[in-house]
Amino acid sequence: MTLSPGPVPLYHQLEQDLRERINAREFKAGEALPTEERICGEYGVSRITVRRALETLIAEGLITKRRGVGTFVTPPPESGVRSVRLSGSLDEFLASAGALATKVLSMQEIQAPDEAVRGLRLAPGEACTRLDLLSFLEDAPLGYHNLYLPLAIGRKIKPVDVGQKLPVIRMVEGKAGARVVRAEQFLEADIAGPIASKYLNLQENTPVLKVTRIYYDMTGAPVEMIVARNHPERYRYSIDFVAKPRIV
Amino acid sequence: MTLSPGPVPLYHQLEQDLRERINAREFKAGEALPTEERICGEYGVSRITVRRALETLIAEGLITKRRGVGTFVTPPPESGVRSVRLSGSLDEFLASAGALATKVLSMQEIQAPDEAVRGLRLAPGEACTRLDLLSFLEDAPLGYHNLYLPLAIGRKIKPVDVGQKLPVIRMVEGKAGARVVRAEQFLEADIAGPIASKYLNLQENTPVLKVTRIYYDMTGAPVEMIVARNHPERYRYSIDFVAKPRIV
């Protein structure tokens, strides 16, 4: 296919065409996309154009870049599982998240637990940095957070960097020299458990909302993973759905 | 203030001005807005213009219309509570929600329980219609739902109307002759409890995600409230946050 000069920018035409080819399963889930060079040749466009198109598809989560390996079509969700997937603006989310008062409980390098291996795409047994945090709202404990960082990023951060009136990820971006373009957030129910219950003054078996959020950079690599358990009476999670206005 | 003819439609100018007056607390939380007639007079615009401006503010949740009483400024969230509030498209949500296989377990007129009194804004002791539903995914039970309807709407619906390859609220809209313009959804952690655990084949104390969703019509009146408890292994709730692209 050749792209045509005109009002629609080339990178946008390319992005649309690649999206269609992925949706038509010409490139299948889990498989690699052609290299940037091949895409340049096939469409007769520059490397910059190809990169811009791929960046958009990465930001949408349709493809994933593995550094030094290639770009792969993101596999679809498992069968037998209902996935309710919403989308939102990261900038607005972080602006509204604002800066809670945060206390660092501990910071250490550990062998990554399973959830961090999966979330940060580490090798089994690989080490990572773990920060345990407690957030406060009007002096009352609000959330108990486990924050995981790849070791290379964790080593650039000190406990004193946390809680400087900035969402933690913004501080991490600065220290790591990364730019976060996307985050995935999962919501589950859990019990408070022995540790969070202590910090949040709850019974161990109190149901709490467990929020897992993974931030990704422009290459699709995970930069930070945070697992939060929140106080059920001080944390509300709501979504407003608005219908498209109809002209009256 | 007088509105000026020009490229920005009058209803949009009016909507902006009312929003600013609410945000400036000239109209305070819980207080009534001036009547439509007074707003017409004050701004020198038609009733249609006023209604369109108010509709947008109602859809945003900034004001609430109580039929036959007036329009009120929605109170802000309580203090000491962290409200994470996202927004999304109702049309897209319902399209993705699609039609799960649904079985009606029971339908009855009952004295509204507390959550329905609050959600549907009923008088204490007032009756409502309650439908208990079980949804399935690939023949496995996915969610146990309590659906509450104002009596006037519930009486237009029969159990056989449910589960006709249409999200339940779309069927309710049709039967009630209402148009849903907004929904509010709350997410909490809960335990499955004695009833949902039976239908979902879980232990009673298994933590489950409890999703409460209230649908509102154009006047801001609640049309349906649904409380769902979902199977933790078959129901994933995720949100993709995407950063505004920067020009490279």
Q: What does the pLDDT look like over A77-86, one tens digit per residue?
A: 666 777 777 7
Distance from CA of A18 to the nearest CA of B (A): 19
- Position B248 scores a pLDDT of 41
| Same-domain pairing of B111 and B220 | yes
Nearest alpha carbon to residue B145 among B161, B168, B123: B168
In this structure, is residue A60 part of a structural domain? yes
List of chain B residues whose C-beta atoms are within 8 Å of the C-beta of residue A89: 241-244
In this structure, is residue B151 part of a structural domain? yes
**ipTM, 2 dp:** 0.71
| Same-domain pairing of B121 and B223 | yes
Q: What does the pLDDT look like over A115-174, one tens digit per residue?
A: 999 999 999 999 999 999 999 888 899 999 999 999 999 999 999 988 767 788 989 999
In this predicted structure, which of A42-51, A142-151, B118-127, B239-248 has the lowest mean pLDDT? B239-248
Nearest CA in chain B to A247: B52
- Position A99 scores a pLDDT of 59
- Position A24 scores a pLDDT of 84
What's at B114, amino acid-wise?
D
Please answer yes or no on whether A97 and B84 come within 8 Å at the CB atom.
Answer: yes
Please answer yes or no on whether A190 and B184 come within 8 Å at the CB atom.
Answer: no
List of chain B residues whose C-beta atoms are within 8 Å of the C-beta of residue A185: 238-241
Decide which of B73, B101, B122 is a domain's last residue.
B73
- Position B224 scores a pLDDT of 97
Decide which of B25, B43, B73 is a domain's last residue.
B73
Q: What does the pLDDT look like over B61-115, one tens digit per residue?
A: 788 877 667 788 887 666 677 777 777 778 877 876 665 788 999 999 999 999 9
Nearest alpha carbon to residue B84 among A100, A173, A183: A100
Q: Which residues form the domain of B132?
A: 90-230
In this structure, is residue B43 part of a structural domain? yes
In this structure, is residue A80 part of a structural domain? no
| Same-domain pairing of A21 and A133 | no
In this structure, is residue B174 part of a structural domain? yes
Q: What is the mean pLDDT of residues B215-223?
A: 90
Which residues is B183 bridged to in the sheet? A241, B215
- Position A12 scores a pLDDT of 87
List of chain B residues whose C-beta atoms are within 8 Å of the C-beta of residue A225: none
Q: What is the mean pLDDT of residues A33-40?
A: 92
- Position B99 scores a pLDDT of 59
Closest by Cβ to B240, choosing from A55, A182, A240: A182
CATH of the domain at B53: 1.10.10.10
Please answer yes or no on whether A243 and B93 come within 8 Å at the CB atom.
Answer: no
Q: Which of residues 96-125 of B touch A (CB under 8 A)?
A: 96-97, 100
Is residue B140 within 8 A of residue B234, CB to CB? The reply is yes
* B139/A contact by beta carbon, under 8 A: no
Nearest CA in chain A to B85: A238
> Average pLDDT, whole number, for chain A?
87
Q: What does the pLDDT look like over A181-194, one tens digit per residue?
A: 889 999 999 999 99
| Same-domain pairing of B69 and B97 | no
Overall residue count recorded for chain A in this entry: 248
CATH of the domain at B100: 3.40.1410.10
| Same-domain pairing of A41 and A103 | no
Of residues B85 and A233, the one with the higher pLDDT is A233
Distance from CA of B122 to the nearest CA of A (A): 22
- Position A248 scores a pLDDT of 41
Distance from CA of A245 to the nearest CA of B (A): 8
| Same-domain pairing of A68 and A97 | no
Is the confidence at residue B247, as pLDDT, over 50? no
- Position B151 scores a pLDDT of 96
In this structure, is residue A192 part of a structural domain? yes
| Same-domain pairing of A40 and A142 | no
| Same-domain pairing of A66 and A107 | no
Is the confidence at residue A231, as pLDDT, over 90? yes
Please answer yes or no on whether B191 and A207 come within 8 Å at the CB atom.
Answer: yes
| Same-domain pairing of B69 and B178 | no
Is residue A170 within 8 A of residue A94, CB to CB? The reply is yes
Is residue B85 within 8 A of residue A96, CB to CB? The reply is yes
Of residues A29 and B206, the one with the higher pLDDT is B206
In this structure, is residue A81 part of a structural domain? no
Number of domains into which chain B is organized: 2
| Same-domain pairing of A16 and A131 | no
In this predicted structure, which of A58-67, A231-240, B101-110, B214-223 has the lowest mean pLDDT? A58-67
Of residues B153 and A244, the one with the higher pLDDT is B153
Closest by Cβ to B237, choosing from A84, A179, A182: A84
* A80/B contact by beta carbon, under 8 A: yes
In this structure, is residue B22 part of a structural domain? yes
Q: At what angle do helices A47-60 and A36-43 cross, to 10 degrees?
A: 120
Q: Which pTM value belongs to this model?
A: 0.73
Q: Which of residues 166-225 of A touch B (CB under 8 A)?
A: 179-191, 205, 207-210
Is residue B182 within 8 A of residue B59, CB to CB? The reply is yes
Please answer yes or no on whether A240 and B87 come within 8 Å at the CB atom.
Answer: yes
| Same-domain pairing of A107 and A205 | yes
| Same-domain pairing of B105 and B67 | no
